[in-house]
């Protein structure tokens, strides 16, 4: 499928990636934090969450786990995305969408790409766009590569998830790659308000899930692929908000996929920033109220949202493919083949583009309250 941007459409050559190249390619938040920014991370080596971390998750609805992943874990993602970026630049140069080859850091070049084509960010995301109704086949794109597949199945991530939902773990297809250039580099005002590129409004993850996931135990693993600090757009959460149940979300007239909790609902609640170093994660409940700050730094902030639920429970997005990531009960059920995963996303895309699948892809109106909004 020519327009579906998966790894097997990338050039055959490999690009060796070293930590020095990563530093050069992504940029930093400043020389004062370079040492901790990339070299202060090492895998925890532990299996699952500690008692204190589980208590924090139950109490607050979230927990920050530093150093869950190490450099060896993340280099394949950078390698894969360097190939995607260079391939996209080549396509745009050939089509005349770019007049000259962008230079600078990975974040600088990525910002130039999405400035020239505001929809180009879709090629880097790990989910199909959230659109209810007919779609344009040429722009209905995503990326599914083997490094992403391996990240979804990473043992340390699954160990943390198992601590919360048990050993029967399905990868939930509600997943996103958040590549956020410095705010000053994003010229398009609508694109700046897109949660994959700019700041994120207050919301609960349940807001975009269809009713089949109402009773599902869905946990989000928010992976920091660069440092996520206050100045470059870390998460902010409201401790204990997961115990309040689903909140009113107002429809976003500019971006249907970005409903938000209105300020009136949150006026009495206190927020807490959740800075985390590269390789760390934030684990949170589907009812946790959270947002992401704008990136006021000079370099890109990069994260991935991965989600999981017990095998057999509804995902909230039946149009997209789930798979068994871990199973103590039925190990043979676990998917280990990247090509099968990729083919399932191909099939999902084809069903939506061809209108074989005609139901809604995501929830966008259910939690709206016209009086409050």
Average pLDDT of the chain, as a whole number: 88
Q: What are the pLDDT digits (tens) for 197-235?
A: 988 999 999 999 999 999 999 999 999 999 999 999 999
Tell me whether residue 295 is in a domain.
yes
Higher per-residue confidence, 94 vs 253? 94
Residue 29 lies in a domain: yes
Query: Is residue 371 included in any domain, yes or no?
Result: no
Number of domains in the chain: 1
Question: What is the pTM for the complete model shown?
Answer: 0.89
Query: Would you state the pLDDT for residue 186?
Result: 92
Domain assignment present for 361 = no
How far apart are the C-alpha atoms of 190 and 187, rounded to whole Å? 9
Confidence band (pLDDT; 50, 70, 90) for 369? confident
Write down the pLDDT at residue 20.
42
Is residue 126 over pLDDT 80? yes
- Per the domain annotation, does 372 fall within a domain? no
CATH number of the structural domain spanning residue 168: 2.60.120.620
Is 366 within a domain? no
- Give residue 35's domain range: 5-353
Confidence bin at 2 (pLDDT 50/70/90): very low
| pLDDT recorded at residue 254 | 61
Using the predicted structure, report yes or no on whether residue 43 has a pLDDT greater than 70. Answer: no
69-84 residue pLDDT tens: 999 999 999 999 999 9
Arithmetic mean of pLDDT, 326-331: 97
Give the pLDDT band of residue 259 (cuts 50, 70, 90): confident
Write out pLDDT tens, residues 132-182: 999 999 999 999 999 999 999 999 999 999 999 999 999 999 999 999 999
Residue 367 lies in a domain: no
pLDDT digits (tens, 9 = 90+) for 76-117: 999 999 999 999 999 999 999 999 999 999 999 999 999 999
Mean pLDDT of the region 325-354: 98
Q: Would residue 161 count as lying in a domain?
A: yes
């Amino acid at each position: 499928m020519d327009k579906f941007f998966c790894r097997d459409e990338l050039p055959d050559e490999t690009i060796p990636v070293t930590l020095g190249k990563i530093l050069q390619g992504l940029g930093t938040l400043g020389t004062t934090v370079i040492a901790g920014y990339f070299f202060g991370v090492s895998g925890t080596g532990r299996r699952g969450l500690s008692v204190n971390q589980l208590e924090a998750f139950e109490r607050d609805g979230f927990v920050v786990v530093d150093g869950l992943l190490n450099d060896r874990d993340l280099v394949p993602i950078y390698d894969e995305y360097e190939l995607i970026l260079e391939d996209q630049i080549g396509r745009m140069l050939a089509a005349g969408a770019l007049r000259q080859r962008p230079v600078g850091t990975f974040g600088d070049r990525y910002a130039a790409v999405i400035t020239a084509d505001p929809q180009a960010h879709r090629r880097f995301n790990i989910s199909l766009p959230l659109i209810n109704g007919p779609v344009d086949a040429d722009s209905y794109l995503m990326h599914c590569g083997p490094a992403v597949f391996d990240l979804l199945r990473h043992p340390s991530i699954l160990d943390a998830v198992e601590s919360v939902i048990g050993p029967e773990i399905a990868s939930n297809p509600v997943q996103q790659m958040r590549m956020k250039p410095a705010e000053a580099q994003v010229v398009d005002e609508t694109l700046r308000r897109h949660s994959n590129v700019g700041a994120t409004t207050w919301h609960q993850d349940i807001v975009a899930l269809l009713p089949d996931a109402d009773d599902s135990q869905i946990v989000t693993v928010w992976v920091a692929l660069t440092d996520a600090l206050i100045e470059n757009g870390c998460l902010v959460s409201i401790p204990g908000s997961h115990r309040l149940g689903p909140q009113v979300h107002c429809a976003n007239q500019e971006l249907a996929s970005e409903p938000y909790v209105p300020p009136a609902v949150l006026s009495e609640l206190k927020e807490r920033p959740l800075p985390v170093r590269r390789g760390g994660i934030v684990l949170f409940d589907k009812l946790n109220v959270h947002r992401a700050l704008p990136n006021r730094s000079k370099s890109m902030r990069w994260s991935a949202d991965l989600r999981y639920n017990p095998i057999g429970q509804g995902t909230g997005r039946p149009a997209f493919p789930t798979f068994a990531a871990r199973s103590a009960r039925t190990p043979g059920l676990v998917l280990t083949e990247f090509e099968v995963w990729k083919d399932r996303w191909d099939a999902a895309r084809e069903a939506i583009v061809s209108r074989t699948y005609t139901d809604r892809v995501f929830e966008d109106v259910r939690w709206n309250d016209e009086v409050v909004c």
